[in-house]
């Protein structure tokens, strides 16, 4: 029997619509291959939403998104909205989406495709076969903790203040995501904090240790100081399977890991809550410098779709197939400009979509 799924498409600004169009082609092919009826709803987010509705994410769009099974998001932002009020900026739409859906877990895989190993900043032998998953807490920590602000002291000097704060509940739920993910991979978690100098880090370490002992004895746990983790990522990244970390350290460590893979145009991400739809989006931004020219690499968007299939739509086999199709298209030598190499065939955004669809096959 045909199953049906509701997918919200928020293409956003810049190259967002171009890469989304290719992801939709792949999604439709997956629907045919796996006999799933995808009902697609399109909405505006970011600068285009502000131009149309005066807000970067309208209540109506949010309501439709919240009821969907998964949300695919392109990218938001561009220089034309740089002077827009802070709460109306394109990024404010993203933050509202994350907050309203209580997306506390950010998943960023750093996977090095064999065909792109030479594009990494590290030598090929350090990155070939690299497959790390960074699980970053997204909704708490120093980016949200109170008190915060900039104050003027009695002597006229100023103090800037942010607060690192984590509750047991917040640590518990992100830790369980990391351990659950590890069970589907190589069953190893490295938890990164600064227990040596931060009480919040010490508590994080104690809580993670207790959760592992009680509920995940089958998953190996190692604790690593976040600064050492950054060094290890550059020295020997393949030692890691899942890295569990907080909002601030995750922001930095995921960017370090991203560069090991060689290209921004290849990096997907997922943001998940306790229930409800996840948001799946490329790591890169709206690339205004190449927007509208058919130059964008749609792979990160298509790999984000693969994550949606795996984590929100219960279609793990389809996710594997899409990822394999992207790898095979690269292996066959097809490249957008951002990842072009000697001897390869340069293709447009649509051309890359065609190459991936060719590898996906037909019924
Ligand atoms: P960017 O990621 O948009 O672009 C950085 C560089 O990488 C550019 O040269 C761009 O052409 C290239 N690039 C990015 N994605 C590519 C792709 N798929 N294929 C080929 N080349 C690609 O970062 P930026 O230039 O710093 O930011 C541009 C805008 O995007 C800003 O308004 C920024 O605020 C916004 N932004 C949005 C998000 C998001 O929506 N989540 C994330 C980061 C930046």
Helices of type H across the chain: 16-34, 47-53, 59-67, 90-100, 124-127, 168-183, 199-215, 226-235, 247-260, 299-311, 316-331, 349-360
For 255, the domain range is 131-260
Q: Look at residue 120 and tell me if it is in a domain.
A: no
Q: Look at residue 357 and tell me if it is in a domain.
A: yes
State in Å: Cα 284 to ligand 1 middle.
5
Q: What is the pLDDT of residues 62-83, one digit of tens each?
A: 999 999 999 999 999 999 999 9
This prediction has a pTM of: 0.93
Given 242, 260, 278, the domain boundary residue is 260
Smallest Cα–Cα separation from 97: which of 302, 278, 305, 275? Answer: 278
Supply the residue whose CA is at minimum distance from atom 4 of ligand 1.
287
Q: Is 288 in the pocket of ligand 1 (CB under 6 A)?
A: yes
Given 197, 225, 260, the domain boundary residue is 260
User: Residue 86's pLDDT is what?
Assistant: 84
Q: What is the pLDDT of residues 210-255, one digit of tens each?
A: 999 999 999 999 999 999 999 999 999 999 999 999 999 999 999 8
Q: Look at residue 121 and tell me if it is in a domain.
A: no
State in Å: Cα 185 to ligand 1 middle.
30
Q: Is 80 in the pocket of ligand 1 (CB under 6 A)?
A: no
User: Residue 269's pLDDT is what?
Assistant: 96
State in Å: Cα 59 to ligand 1 middle.
26
Active-site residue set: 143, 194, 227, 251, 255
Identify the band that residue 121 occupies on the pLDDT scale cut at 50, 70 and 90. Answer: confident
User: Is the pLDDT assigned to residue 172 strictly greater than 70?
Assistant: yes
User: Residue 218's pLDDT is what?
Assistant: 98
User: Residue 243's pLDDT is what?
Assistant: 98
Which CATH number goes with the domain that contains 144?
Answer: 3.40.718.10
Supply the residue whose CA is at minimum distance from atom 22 of ligand 1.
265
Question: Do residue 255 and residue 135 come from a single domain?
Answer: yes
User: Residue 362's pLDDT is what?
Assistant: 78
Residues 6+ apart with CB under 8 A from 26: 302, 305, 322, 325, 353, 356, 357, 360
Q: Quick one: which atom of ligand 1 is closest to the CA of 73?
A: 40
């Amino acid at each position: 029997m045909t199953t049906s799924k509701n997918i919200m498409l928020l293409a956003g600004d810049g190259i967002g619509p171009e890469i989304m169009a290719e992801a939709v082609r792949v999604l439709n092919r997956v629907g045919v291959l796996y006999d799933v009826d995808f009902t697609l709803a399109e909405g505006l987010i970011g600068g285009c939403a502000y131009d149309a509705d005066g807000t970067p994410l309208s209540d109506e769009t949010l309501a439709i998104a919240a009821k969907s099974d998964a949300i695919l998001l392109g990218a938001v932002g561009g220089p034309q909205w740089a002077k827009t009020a802070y709460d109306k900026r394109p990024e404010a739409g993203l933050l509202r989406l994350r907050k309203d859906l209580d997306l506390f877990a950010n998943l960023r895989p750093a996977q090095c495709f064999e065909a792109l190993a030479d594009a990494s900043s590290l030598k090929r032998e350090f990155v070939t076969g690299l497959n790390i998953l960074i699980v970053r807490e997204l909704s708490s920590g120093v980016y949200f903790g109170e008190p915060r602000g900039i104050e003027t002291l009695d002597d006229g000097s100023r103090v800037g203040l942010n607060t690192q704060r984590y509750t047991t509940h917040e640590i518990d739920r992100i830790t369980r995501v990391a351990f659950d993910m590890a069970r589907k991979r190589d069953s190893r978690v490295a938890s990164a904090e600064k227990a040596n100098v931060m009480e919040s880090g010490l508590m994080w370490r104690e809580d993670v240790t207790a959760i592992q002992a009680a509920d995940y004895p089958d998953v190996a746990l190692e604790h690593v100081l976040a600064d050492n983790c950054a060094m290890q990522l550059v020295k020997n990244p393949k030692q890691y399977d899942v890295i569990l970390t907080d909002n601030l350290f995750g922001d930095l460590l995921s960017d370090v890991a991203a560069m090991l893979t060689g290209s921004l145009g290849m990096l997907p991400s997922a943001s998940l809550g306790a229930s409800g739809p996840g948001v799946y989006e490329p790591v890169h931004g709206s690339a205004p410098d190449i927007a509208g020219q058919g130059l964008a690499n749609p792979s990160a968007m298509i790999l984000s779709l693969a994550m949606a299939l795996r984590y929100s739509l219960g279609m793990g086999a389809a996710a594997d197939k899409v990822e394999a199709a992207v790898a095979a298209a690269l292996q066959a030598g097809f490249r957008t400009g951002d990842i072009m190499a000697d001897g390869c065939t340069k293709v447009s955004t649509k051309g890359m979509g065609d190459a991936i669809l060719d590898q996906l096959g037909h019924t």
